[in-house]
Amino acid sequence: MLLQGIAAAPGVAMGPALVLKNDTHTVQRYEIAPEQIQEEAERLEAHIRLAISQLEALIEQTRAAVGSEQAKIFESQIWLLEDEEFTGAAKEAILSKRINAEAALDDASKAIIGIFESMEDEHLRERAADIRDITNRVLRLLEGKDARPQQESGAPVILVAHDLTPSDTAQLDRSSTAGFVTDIGGRTSHSAIMARSMEIPAVVGSREGTVQVRTGDYVIVDGSLGQVYINPEPAIIEEYKAKQIRFAARRDELKKYGGQPSRTADGHRVELVANIGNAQDALAAKQSGAEGIGLYRTEFLYMGRQQFPTEQEQFQAYKVAAEIFGKDQPVIIRTLDIGGDKELPYLDLPKEANPFLGYRAIRMCLDETELFKTQLRAIVKASAYGNIKLMFPMIATLQELRQAKALLAEVQNELEWENVKFNRSMEVGIMIEVPGAALVADQLAKEADFFSIGTNDLVQYVMAADRMNERLAYLNEPFQPAVLRIIDHVIQAAHREGKWVGMCGEMAGNLTAIPILLGMGLDEFSMSGGAVLAARALLHQLDRHEMKQLADEVLQMTSSEHIKLHVESRVPAIAEWRA
């Protein structure tokens, strides 16, 4: 079976699935003879034991793949299976109703689900889902429908989940997770972005992944085409083994671009830098050939923990990245951009109807000045150790930029008083991701040292299409004429003020977009580390003047499909380097 989703992170992964979700079941029901009662009760008991041992194995796999938090789900399921209240009631039903084990278990399960569902406490109500899940597991075993390939212990799994939060994804262990598939999400949801930076092949927005795939199924994830094969024919497996080999060969071929400058065939220099979420990523980015960091998503330092990181912890995390890239190569640290799909469990903010349009990023930081100033202190202190630049996210108005800069100046003055060394001339830029900011880019460019265009958000706001919604992928599309025009507007406005412009949204690493952006005059391209070498290889084959003409043509075109086809036919090298 083949599922078509959204290509989230290139590459091919194959292996046994680990599904992080419940499934449903139809149950056989028949009467049994009195002399079968004992045997039927023993049959039930044996399969409950089997289910417990499966769950124990799942706990280990889940712990390794996604962390202890997710594994707890299975721990509480074991606890429920060991609870006499539930399984005892099933055995009792075999005796009193003289029915088969499956039907008895189903009856006991429904009764207990009814009790849980009527409870006030939300946490207890959620236990109903666990009862459903364990009932299905035991039923499948009882009916002998669990004859799926046994997973080799320790073999990397293909994780299949309804959704993975950014912090789930951040905790994925590369050695135990070969790839992942989610039901929902778009190409610029943060789980997709992280999969690309971790180089884990992934498909998001498959819609039915958790419905169609069962734990233990053999799954192929084609993260380049957005396809998921479930228990494919041997011929398809062979085809994909060959594809994996081609993918590895391309990666080897690209290695020769590692130490080379990022310039076009006619000698025009741009910067190819990487997006990272922590200090370890900085090293990986350097090894992938990035000439610096164009976006350090600092919110990841705040995730997967119970309280805010201290100034000292943050200082260390920024300093390490600065030192990896040295005095010349830039490390752009973006201040906290929490909100949207990135939540902090310990920051108790009210639930919002539209989180992407809500109290997030700089909006929150300008309110929570203590939290913000702690981060600013850490960044300013780290600026003494490399070429750090600071960037504010989600700026919508000039007043927000001024307020943020005023807080930064306070911090710098305090540190001066304390005799702490730092770089007084650190550049301070902003992300352009709110259409309102893009339209006043001329005003903002007078007071910001640089811009970095955040297309992940900019596209969703320009097109009014949630970046997490797989049904809106046709609108959430950086090649939409409206998006290209606003990007061009921002670049020209900044250049008129003598400021440089980068892009750190996912579009910057898109091989079809690079020729257009180069033609528009973009100065810096920031992408996942794994995309840098292909971008550089392509750049070497482009002529800046020809691309300027291409950009002018594209800006007059009327559909994203035509624009992509036009660029790809004018620049055949795109196909050569595509993953």
| Helix runs in 10-144, H state only | 37-66, 68-82, 84-97, 101-117, 122-142
Is the CB of 193 or the CB of 550 nearer to ligand PEP? Answer: 193
Q: Please tell me the distance from the alpha carbon of residue 207 to that of residue 343, in angstroms, as a whole number.
A: 23
- Residues near 290 by beta carbon (within 8 Å), at least 6 away in sequence: 272, 273, 274, 529, 532
Annotated active-site residue in 47, 123, 162, 190: 190
- Give the total of residues touching ligand PEP (CB under 6 A): 10
DSSP SS3 for 77: helix
262 binds, among ligand PEP, Mg ion, none (CB under 5 to 8 A by kind): none
Q: How far is the CB of 433 from Mg ion (least distance, A)?
A: 5
Q: How far is the CB of 457 from ligand PEP (least distance, A)?
A: 3
Told to judge if 562 belongs to the known catalytic residues of this protein, a careful annotator would answer no
What is the token pair recorded at 152? 């080799």
Closest CA to 461 of 402, 511, 518, 453: 453
70 binds, among ligand PEP, Mg ion, none (CB under 5 to 8 A by kind): none
Sign of CA dihedral 204, 205, 210, 216: negative
Backbone angles phi, psi at 204, to 5 degrees: -110, 170
Backbone angles phi, psi at 9, to 5 degrees: -145, 125
Q: How far is the CB of 341 from ligand PEP (least distance, A)?
A: 8
What is the token pair recorded at 502? 């980068």
Backbone angles phi, psi at 448, to 5 degrees: -115, 145
Judge contact between 71 and 2, C-beta under 8 A: no
504 binds, among Mg ion, ligand PEP, none (CB under 5 to 8 A by kind): ligand PEP
Annotated active-site residue in 162, 268, 489, 504: 504
What is the token pair recorded at 418? 């304390």
* 189 belongs to the binding site for ligand PEP (CB under 6 A): no
Side chain identity, residue 235: A
Interactions with Mg ion, residue window 420-459 (CB under 5 A): 433, 454, 457
Of 107, 168, 222, 457, the one binding ligand PEP by CB under 6 A? 457
Is the CB of 231 or the CB of 455 nearer to Mg ion? Answer: 455
Interactions with ligand PEP, residue window 318-347 (CB under 6 A): 337
CB 57: neighbour CB atoms within 10 A?
A: 13
Q: How far is the CB of 172 from ligand PEP (least distance, A)?
A: 18
* 466 belongs to the binding site for Mg ion (CB under 5 A): no
Is the CB of 133 or the CB of 281 nearer to Mg ion? Answer: 281
Side chain identity, residue 427: E
Closest CA to 258 of 247, 245, 272, 269: 272
DSSP SS3 for 129: helix
Q: How far is the CB of 504 from ligand PEP (least distance, A)?
A: 4
Q: How far is the CB of 427 from ligand PEP (least distance, A)?
A: 18
User: SS in 3 state form for 435-483?
Assistant: HHHHHCHHHHHHHCCEEEECHHHHHHHHCCCCCCCHHHCCCCCCCCHHH
Backbone angles phi, psi at 317, to 5 degrees: -65, -35
* 505 belongs to the binding site for ligand PEP (CB under 6 A): yes
Is the CB of 427 or the CB of 457 nearer to ligand PEP? Answer: 457
Of 214, 297, 319, 381, the one binding ligand PEP by CB under 6 A? 297
295 binds, among Mg ion, ligand PEP, none (CB under 5 to 8 A by kind): ligand PEP
163 binds, among Mg ion, ligand PEP, none (CB under 5 to 8 A by kind): none
Q: Please tell me the distance from the alpha carbon of residue 82 to that of residue 88, in angstroms, as a whole number.
A: 9
Q: How far is the CB of 292 from ligand PEP (least distance, A)?
A: 16
505 binds, among ligand PEP, Mg ion, none (CB under 5 to 8 A by kind): ligand PEP
CB 244: neighbour CB atoms within 10 A?
A: 16
Backbone angles phi, psi at 222, to 5 degrees: -100, 95
Is the CB of 468 or the CB of 493 nearer to ligand PEP? Answer: 468
The residue number whose beta carbon is nearest to Mg ion equals 457
Is the CB of 468 or the CB of 563 nearer to ligand PEP? Answer: 468
297 binds, among Mg ion, ligand PEP, none (CB under 5 to 8 A by kind): ligand PEP
Contacting positions for ligand PEP (CB under 6 A): 295, 297, 337, 433, 454-457, 504-505
Active site residues: 190, 504
Applying CB under 5 A, the residues found at the interface with Mg ion are 433, 454, 457
